[in-house]
Amino acid sequence: MHTEIIGVVATFIATVLLAIPLGKYIAKVFAGERTMLDFLAPAERFFFRVSGIDATREMDWKENLLALLTINFVWFLYAMVILMIQGSLPLNPDHNPSMSPDLAFNTAISFLVNCNLQDYSGETGVSYFTQIGVLMFLQFVSAATGVAALAVVINAMKERTTDKLGNFYNYFVKTITRILLPLSVIVAVIFLLNGMPMTWEGKDTITTLQGDTVQVSRGPVAAFVPIKHLGTNGGGFFGVNSAHPLENPNYLTCIIELMAQSLLPMALVFALGYYLKRRKLAVMIFSVMTIGFLLLTIPTIMLEVKGNPMITHMGVDTYSGAMEGKEVRFGAAISAYWSILTTVISTGSVNAMHDSFMPLSGMNQMLGMMVNCFYGGKGVGILNFYIFIIIAVFISGLMVGRTPEFLGKKIEAREMKIAILIALLHPFLILVGTALSSYFAAHDTAMGWWFSGKASGWLSNGGYHGFSQMLYQYTSSSANNGSGFEGLSDNNPFWNITAGIVMILGRFLPIIGPVAIAGILAKKKYIPESAGTLQTDTATFGLMVFGVIFIIAALAFFPSLALGPIAEHFSMH
């Protein structure tokens, strides 16, 4: 067990050490400075010339948002059409059928918004054509969308007055060509060398050690998995995601997948500091995020390593930890670390069954998504944190009797209204969705029967844990995470449609809000710092931001958590 803990610590430290120079490189990409991958510029120019896009034209915040939303709508239509006709398309050796309209709606939105909630099983639900041509494609472009939106916001934070905030298409394409694609190639080679499949052949027939003959799915897995993690997407090629031996063959690939999914969210924080030449601000943001992450991670590892007290009470030795739902290849400690890392950065990939974790571990997983800004997903993690900074600056300014300012721009009523609406949107989507599903679970209504198709199969568990399963579903959807407690009969119109709506609103409104605030602030007169200026790069202000995050999360979510995982925890004792 000590070895497992050392593995966790070493993984985290190695990721941070790699993220710092990568952040400096990303800042150079954003700023248009020379980098080692400048040889890709002709390919980028060719793409822009063919598509008729002028990537050198500066856009204001409204134009950048319009470009972002328009191109995402086109991808949604493309994905939904392909999913509904995939059974008739090539590269389908296992003859997987086309999706129903409601499942195609859910899946297209899920991958478009970087959530990757999967109401289908990967190896039986989609063809190779769909895996590569739709899902893997969306994993690249959804990640690049978040990073490009962040680049627009960071550009707006510069010390000047302007309405020109760069070009979304320029940031978007360079994110793919200069960051995501090169890293994906490196990670894919490591996976190939460790036995991850890369083939267009269908199922293979093997004979097990027991003498049974089974069909084993394969496919272009090594190409798919790198961007699944580097893009904080999380969609599994196989139904059980990274618990599958072909999607995560050994302990080394487990560590690489952990580092891959957290590398860019961390690096983007440092990129902010290098780009704005405000490294102390980046350190403050990263420190607050890391403290929040560790406050969720350490208790979860302790809970899972300790084991289930009910099993211990039965006289069964739990020296290996709470191993139900976990892979023996990895162990309790690294699985616990993965479960928190994947929920705070909105990747949503799993190497163990979250439904089988201890109740308070499940609560910590949900808290990571409810807060949704401790590292966070590609770009949007910092955008969510930006909202809390704006609120904290406003409150701090009122406390000291000064007009609130952030980076030389006054925070006024308009920006605060947007920030508060975005901060309250997340709990609103989660709690309304959970309340609606709880009503249908408790009442055998005609609508509930039509939505679910079978009222008796709504949940695999009743009571506190059943409530947690529904709460987790909407928390994961609103946070664009995609992991699940499972236990739901989720492939039916109710879950597909309601979760799809939550995913759309939970993705694009939290992007629109920060971009709008940043654009409004960028146009305001820049006020140089003075002796009376509120310092936003100090430990004191970091504590203020952390307090704002804690209070909003506690007030919004504690009652629902008390009805689910907290009540389940006390019922075990």
Nearest C-alpha neighbor of 348 from the set 415, 411, 257: 257
Q: Tell me 444's DSSP state.
A: -
**12 residue type, one letter:** F
pLDDT at 444: 57
Separation CA 571–CA 573 (nearest Å): 5
pLDDT at 450: 47
Separation CA 296–CA 553 (nearest Å): 14
pLDDT at residue 447 tops 60: no
Q: Which two tokens stand for residue 128?
A: 């190779």
pLDDT at residue 455 tops 50: no
The mean of the pLDDT values for the chain is 92
Grade residue 461 by pLDDT with cuts at 50, 70 and 90: confident
- Sign, Cα dihedral of 124, 129, 130, 132: positive
From 182-196, 401-415, 461-475, 525-539, the region with the lowest mean pLDDT: 525-539
Nearest C-alpha neighbor of 238 from the set 346, 149, 371, 349: 349
pLDDT at 451: 47
Grade residue 81 by pLDDT with cuts at 50, 70 and 90: very high
